[in-house]
Structure 1
Amino acid sequence: MWTPFCFVTVVAGFIWGVGPALFTVALGFFAFNIFVVPQYDLLTSPLWNDFKYLAPFVIAQFAIALLAAQHHVQYRRALAAEHKMHTYARDLEVANQQLERASHLKDQFLIRAAHELRTPLTTILGEAQLALRRLQKDTSVLDMLVWKRHFEKIRARAETLHTLVEDLINLSGLSSEDMPLRMNSCDVSSICQEAIEEQGTFTGRTLIWKGPPAPLILQADAERLYQVVTNLIKNAIQYSPRHSVIHVTLNTEASSMLLQVHNAGPALPREQQDLFFEPFYRAPSAEAMNREGWGLGLTICKEIVVRHQGHIWITSSEDHGVTCSVSIPFKKEE
Structure 2
Amino acid sequence: MSLSPRVIAFLLAGLISALTAVFLTFVEGVTRSMLFVVAISSLIVSFFLILYAIEILVYREVNKLYKTIHKLRIKDFTISRTTIIKNNNPFKKLNDEIFVYVARKQKEIEELRRLEQFRREFLADVSHELKTPIFAAQGFVHTLIDGAIDDEKVRDKFLAKAAKSLDGLDALVKDLVALSQLETGEVKMHFETVDIYQITLDVFEQLENTAHARQASLKIKSEQPGGILVKADPQRITQVLTNLIENAIKYGNNGGKVVVSFEEEKKQYIVQVRDNGPGIPPEHLNRIFERFYRVDKSRSKERGGTGLGLAIVKHILNAHKSKITVMSKPDKGTVFSFKLDKAD
**Interval containing the TM-score (normalised by the shorter chain):** 0.5 to 0.7
State the 1:68 CA deviation. 2.0
Aligned residues: 282
TM-score by length of 2: 0.65
Cα distance between partner residues in 2 of 1:273 and 1:105: 22
- Identical-residue share of aligned pairs (%): 23
Gaps of 5+ in 2: 10-30, 76-102
1:28-62: per-residue Cα shift (whole Å, max 9, x none)? xxxxxxxxxxxxxxxxxxxx997665433246514
Please report how far the alpha carbon of residue 261 of structure 1 lies from its aligned counterpart in structure 2 after TM superposition: 1.6
1:36 aligns with: none
Match of 1:219 in 2: 231
Give the whole-Å Cα distance in 2 for the aligned partners of 1:77 and 1:320: 59
Does the 8 Å CA contact 2:231/2:340 hold for their aligned counterparts? no
Task: Spell out, residue by residue over 1:271-297, the C-alpha distance to the aligned partner (whole angstroms, 9 max, x if none).
Answer: 3222212332211x3436743444322
Deviates more, 1:159-168 or 1:54-63: 54-63
Q: 1:311 aligns with which of 308, 311, 323?
A: 323
8 Å Cα contact 2:294/2:300 also seen in 1? no
Given the alignment, which residue of 65, 70, 77 partners 2:54?
Answer: 70
Does the 8 A contact of 1:266 with 1:318 survive in 2?
A: yes
Of 113, 126, 141, which aligns to 1:128? Answer: 141
Distance 1:253 1:148, change over 3 A: farther
Structure 2 SS opposite 1:275: coil
For 2:112 and 2:292, locate their aligned partners in 1 and report how far apart those are by CA, in whole Å: 16
Q: Whose radius of gyration is greater, 1 or 2? A: 1
Q: 1:190 to 1:263 in 2, by over 3 A?
A: same
**Distance between the aligned counterparts of 1:246 and 1:105, measured in 2?**
36
Aligned CA distance change for structure 1 residues 73 and 52 (closer, same or farther; 3 Å): same
Q: State the 1:239 CA deviation.
A: 0.7
Aligned to 2:20: none
Contact 1:186 1:222 in 2 (8 A): yes
Deviations 1:167-218 (A, max 9, x none): 2233333334454433333322232222222122455354222344343232
- Partners of 2:51 and 2:38 lie apart in 1 by 18
- Code of the residue aligned with 2:280 in structure 1: it is L
1:99 positional shift = 3.2
Contact 2:262–2:272, Cα closer than 8 Å, also in 1 = yes
Matched residue, 1:207: 218
Pair 1:320 & 2:303 matched = no
Q: TM-score, normalised by structure 1?
A: 0.67
Match of 2:264 in 1: 252
| Partner Cα separation in structure 2 for residue 288 and residue 135 of structure 1 | 31
CA RMSD of aligned residues (A): 4.0
Unaligned runs of 5+ in 1: 1-9, 15-47
Q: What SS does the corresponding residue of 2:252 show, helix, strand or coil?
A: coil
Pairwise mapping of residues 39-78 of structure 1 onto structure 2 (< 5 A)?
53-56=36-39, 57-58=41-42, 60-62=44-46, 64-74=48-58, 75-78=60-63
After superposition, what is the alpha-carbon deviation per residue over 1:282-327, rounded to whole angstroms, capped at 9, x for unaligned?
Answer: 11x3436743444322222222223323232222235632222223
| Structure 2 match to 1:82 | 67
Q: What amino acid does structure 2 have at the position aligned with 1:82?
A: K
2:324 match: secondary structure: strand
In 2 relative to 1, CA 241–120 (structure 1 residues): closer, same or farther, beyond 3 Å?
same
Contact 1:123 1:157 in 2 (8 A): yes
Q: CA deviation at 1:84?
A: 4.9
Say which is worse superposed, 145-154 or 114-123, in terms of deviation.
145-154
Please give the alpha-carbon distance, in whole angstroms, between the structure 2 residues aligned to 1:315 and 1:301.
16
Distance 1:294 1:183, change over 3 A: same
Distance of aligned partners of 1:146 and 1:207 in 2 relative to their CA distance in 1, 3 Å threshold? farther
CA contact (8 A) 2:277 2:331 kept: no
Does structure 1 conserve the Cα–Cα contact (< 8 Å) formed by 2:210 and 2:249?
no
Which one is further off, 311-320 or 146-155? Answer: 146-155
Contact kept? 1:224, 1:304, Cα under 8 Å:
yes
Residue 249 of structure 1 and its aligned partner are, at CA, apart by 1.9
